[in-house]
Amino acid sequence: MQLNDTLLVVAEHTSAGYAGRTRANARSAQLTAAFALDYSTGGERLTHRVSGASYVALPLTATPLQNARMLYRALRDRQASTLNIAGNGIRTLHQHGWTQMQVDFAVLTTISRVHAHWPLTHIFSGGQTGADLSGLIAAQVLGIPATGTFPLGFIQRGINGLDVPHTREEITSQVLAGAEAVREVLRDLALLAT
């Protein structure tokens, strides 16, 4: 499948804070899936609170198969086909020894297993580094339409904890480059298997 930026909408919330776009993304989807190692962060508590019963925790300590089973059940139980991908940012994940690429593969592997049996029609995300970004990358790799809604200024928090503004084009390039990097590794793995 070719990478296709027409499947990706990069949107800007009217607020520069994180809470507004967290609420917007949770309300846009029928279910929020939180990929995290630390569910006690302020962002994770807010995501759970605003998502209410339409929330499923998918700990990155579980295998992608275990998470796929939990996600499949949650989607089926709600008859949902739209998903908000949330979770820890790269700063928190890095503190636990995770890289962006590791999170990308954990989210992609989970989503691809579910999507094969319960097709997703749209993925939403807050677009932050870590799990949010992985959701947009997985959507691009799998050909699922996706919307990333960022704080005003297309703000992303980096591994150093600093909030950095971006342009829509920079974010689009970031997602496409991440998807291409994942696809390259998948191609290499396929070659090794032959």
Instruction: Give the other-Cβ count within 10 Å of 110's Cβ.
Output: 28
- The Cα 9–Cα 122 span in angstroms is 11
- The Cα 116–Cα 82 span in angstroms is 14
Residue type, 32: T
Instruction: Give the other-Cβ count within 10 Å of 56's Cβ.
Output: 18
Q: What is the mean pLDDT of each run of 10 residues along the chain (194 residues)?
A: 77 94 96 98 96 98 98 98 98 97 97 98 96 98 97 95 96 96 90 67
Judge whether 171 and 8 are in contact, CB under 8 Å.
no
Q: What is residue 96's predicted lDDT score, i.e. its pLDDT?
A: 97
Q: Which of 89, 176, 93 is nearest to 129 (CA)?
A: 89
Q: What is residue 2's predicted lDDT score, i.e. its pLDDT?
A: 53
- The Cα 42–Cα 57 span in angstroms is 15
For the chain, the straight-line distance linking the first and the last C-alpha, in angstroms and rounded, comes to 20
Query: Is the dihedral angle over the CA atoms 10, 13, 19, 22 positive or is it negative?
Result: negative
Judge whether 89 and 157 are in contact, CB under 8 Å.
yes
Q: What is residue 75's predicted lDDT score, i.e. its pLDDT?
A: 98
Q: Is 4 helix (H, G, I), strand (E, B) or coil?
A: coil
For 117: left if phi > 0, alpha if psi spans -120 to 50, otherwise beta; the answer is alpha
- Whose tokens are 């991908």? That residue is 85
Q: Identify any residues that bridge with 35 across adjacent strands, giving them in sequence order.
A: 58, 87
Burial class (CB in 10 A: 0-12, 13-18, 19+), 81: middle
